[in-house]
Chain A
Amino acid sequence: MKLCGADIIVRTLIEQGVDTVFGYPGGQIINVYDSLYKYQDEIKHILTAHEQGAAHAADGYARATGKAGVVIATSGPGATNLVTGIATAYLDSVPMVAITGNVPTTQLGTDSFQEIDITGITLPITKHNYVVGRVEDLADTIREAFRLAVSGRPGPVLIDVPKDIQTAVTEYTPCEPVLPEPRQPAKEMRITAAAEAINQSQRPFIYFGGGMINSDAQDELYELAERLDAPIGCSLMGISAIPTDHPRFLGMQGMHGHYASSMAMHKADCIIALGVRFNDRVTGNRAKFASNAKIIHIDVDGAELDKTVSAAHAMRGDLKLTLQRLLGLLAQKKLPEWRKTIEGLKFEERGATDNREGLTPRAAILTLNKYLKPETPVATDVGQHQMWAAQSLAFSQKRKFISSGGLGTMGFGMGAAMGAATALKEKAVLVTGDGGFGMCLNELATAVTYNIPLVILLMNNGVLGMVRQWQTLFFNKHYSNTVLERKTDFVKLAEAFGAAGKRAETLEQLDSALKEAFESKVPFVVECIIDKDEFVLPMLPPGGSMDDIITKVDIGGAEND
């Protein structure tokens, strides 16, 4: 059938199985919005308050489902407002398809009104991007974008569609949804060599990241851990891939990771790294990182191998398929000594656990845990609350922890929580701080309009806590521009948006506020008052090694300035 480009865009999205898109209209994408009007029974569009919120929502949708999230924006500022959202998805390997309008082909390059070179701008933050030059190429370009977004290591793809391509007419033939490129195991020879090294190890440690979720290799991971009698740790991106209470799981690694997990990795003689990329927030000082260990690294992205740490055995391939082959070559281990060491580390960690009375950050997160169902997605913003959440939230299903790891985007959580709630048709939780919430709280309007079920736990300490923590530890308590001292009444603010809110200053108040929030029919903000001098601990100082780990801070007397 003959269709105009705008109709082809929407029909191709429907054909690819997209049920919901997020976006914001404008002059150069108006034809696509006309098509969205036409096809509104087949595809739902959620209008956000800002394009950034739409991009984060598409991201949250994708993280919660594994399907590509779709965001639509107009040219110029519409497109540039997507940039932070696209970059966030890129750094965390999240499949996303962004569609932007642009000025007609004949005006491209002339600095027309609201013209911007968005493909140039997003070149380093997309897997690939396109300017569609012919309407005949439009449908196939979108299909290729979906295939690229979900294949191998997932990521965002942007398609820029000039206005004349949206109005031009051509033949459209529906197709089946595209499939990701077939997964491949690593090379047999490399697997064999790695297996030999693993078989010789006495203190193996398994360390996984977001690739575990993408590859669905949990069963193989459990079998590997049993076979090697090994403990398991993960990166921030790996959280919720396996149940938090898995007996071999020591929790998150790295700068603010669990003590036992980071220490076990430090003491290991063999680190089996699965779909994880040894970010500086994990390794600290790379020269001193795991100096006693042989690193066995499996990743679907060959460029991650030997990029930041050099592996004794590096294998490019799909985790699940590679682990299946690897498992066939591994002997059953029994490592009572290593187990004893790990139990000792867990004992040390338990001893250092923050069990103070009252409304401490940890107590707040543990209280939240009581209300989470296995299917509840929890998004975060970035900062102290994010680390407290990462350390203490309990998960039993995968794809439930939705957090900006690589880019560390404050303002991510509001959009992401809406995207996850929309995708899963579940009440979603946002754990945020007063800083991050302040960046994108305009999306409360969206949540109310579309009645997206949200519980927002706002950990309000009146400061930009993570930066303040660094200022306390490394900058002589010079609290430069981290004291917010805003007069915002968050309960009234929630009510002004049409949401509901409660303020909690004690643990009991928090408990009853959360109870009310989870029963609420409208989005609900629980403002939870946290002391400004709460720390995220333990902390590996930036560029430090495990020898420098900070487990206790006495902030001492008055501020220095």
Chain B
Amino acid sequence: MTNFTIAVLVRNQFGVLNRVTSMFRRRRFNINSLTVSETESPELSRITVSSAGLETDKNQLINQLYKLPDVCSIKELDLVESVTCELMLIKVKNEAETRADIRDAAQAFGAKTVDYTRDSITMRLTGTSRELDAFVDLMRDFTILEICRTGIVSLERGATTIRKMEI
């Protein structure tokens, strides 16, 4: 079992996300994270999928994606050769006895406080999924009220762009 991340360019059509996720569901692919956004072209959307499985699972997922007519191109993103990050908002309880520890941890991770009230502190953190996991783990010493994560987005390093992958 290894983790892998795949970027998919799809036609920006009504219901396209449903087509992709419906295929994942019926073929029982286990998806860890999935993000969708518009791209440099209004005709295209970009889906970033991260999943874990065997090499054969990964190939099957890619091959099944290729069969969807709305899919334009697919690329597996090597985590070393690409820039990958995720955004998280995390809201913790604001209490006098823990406030300083929370602030120290936030500072160490570079988390920015985006909302501060008498009872809560909301922080924004961008980084790799692992960094976000580590920060959440630290915050478990305090009282986490809510977490919202975007799932990962990823682009290749250098000038290369996503294009039709050969299989």
Contacts and interface: CB of A to CB of B under 8 A. Distances in A.
Contacts of B160: none
Contact of A302 (B18, B66, B68): B66
A128 interface: yes
Contact of B69 (A123, A148, A303, A316): A148
Contacts of A133: 14
A119 B60 contact: no
Interface in A266-316: 301-303, 305-307, 310, 316
B167 A302 contact: yes
B67 A305 contact: no
B22 A123 contact: yes
Contact of B167 (A120, A307, A316): A316
Contacts of B22: 123-124
B64 interface: yes
Nearest to B66: A302
B118 interface: no
B60 A307 contact: yes
Contact of B18 (A123, A301, A310): A123
Q: Is the interface of A mostly helix, strand, loop or mixed?
A: mixed
A385 interface: no
B41 interface: no
Interface of B: 14-15, 18-19, 22-23, 26, 56, 59-60, 63-64, 66-70, 167
A127 interface: yes
A133 B14 CA distance: 10
Given A127-B69, A310-B56, A302 B63 contact: yes
Nearest to A316: B167
Contacts of B167: 302, 316
Interface in A489-523: none
Interface of A: 119-120, 123-124, 127-128, 131, 133, 148, 301-303, 305-307, 310, 316
List 10 tightest A-B contacts by C-beta distance, closest first.
A303-B63, A302-B63, A128-B69, A124-B26, A303-B64, A123-B22, A306-B56, A302-B167, A303-B67, A148-B69
Contacts of B68: 128
B53 to A, nearest CB: 13
Contacts of B19: 123
Contacts of B69: 127-128, 148
6 contacts: A119-B15, A120-B18, A123-B18, A127-B69, A148-B69, A303-B60
Contacts of A123: 18-19, 22
Contacts of B60: 303, 306-307
B132 to A, nearest CB: 33
A97 to B, nearest CB: 14
Contacts of B63: 301-303, 305
A133 B15 CA distance: 13
B66 A303 contact: yes
Nearest to B61: A303
A120 B14 CA distance: 12
B117 to A, nearest CB: 40
Contacts of B70: 128
A148 B68 CA distance: 11
B67 A127 contact: yes
A278 to B, nearest CB: 14
